[in-house]
Amino acid sequence: MLKLHPRARIAAPRAALALALLTACATPAALAADVTPGTYMLEGGSYTIDVQRDGDGLVVVEPNKRSPYARIDDDEFHFYNDNTQTNYGIRYLDARTIEAFKPDVPGNVGSRLVLMSGGADAIVESAESGRWEALAESYAARIETDSANVQVWAACAGVAMKRSTSTEADADAYARQMAQMLQQMMPAGSASPCADVMPDRVWR
């Protein structure tokens, strides 16, 4: 089991809630131009999503899903999940910040996500995309079962997800950001916790 410094440990949210809060959005072209496509991280570093343009809308890609949101007004988008029978919202704050929330829950405090790295509008698919997606799902599953290492597995899942939709150069650049974040929390000299997605070329 990986060990983080005590100050780096955070409580693990239930994976289902984290995934539901951070599902995707679709907006008209006029609004889509305001949202910067790229990889966003939940403040505190416990979850990442990819925001991409898709025609006149946006798609948020998570390790295990893509989900469309409908525009409600100039800066708010809603998605109704039939499986959970719950309404979820994404609010545009600025070109580098969005907020996930539950619009039907009075007093609900939103979760802010901050742009970590910008990406190209087009999704880059390759023969390896399926393998990276499977790795992203595998690491995301560990978030719920290993509460002491939530940030580690969220970063690994985020990098794997980035590799499934980006060029190697873009994915490596994002992986280096995640590696730097993890190295600040882990004992000096620690090896990569997920060498299959963060190999030595980006970890060192």
CB 50 within 8 A of CB 60: yes
Answer yes or no: CATH 2.40.128 is held by domain 15-118. yes
Task: Provide the residue ranges of all domains of the chain, joining segments of one domain with +.
Answer: 15-118, 124-203
Residue 153 is predicted with a pLDDT of 92
User: 29-71, pLDDT tens digit by residue?
Assistant: 334 436 777 778 887 766 777 777 766 567 777 777 777 887 8
The DSSP result for 51-77, as a single string, is EEEETTEEEEEETTEEE--EEEETTEE
The answer, yes or no, to whether residue 24 has pLDDT greater than 50, is no
* pTM: predicted TM-score of the whole model, two decimal places: 0.53
pLDDT band at residue 26 using 50, 70 and 90 as cut-offs:
very low
pLDDT tens-digit series, residues 85-100: 988 888 888 878 889 8
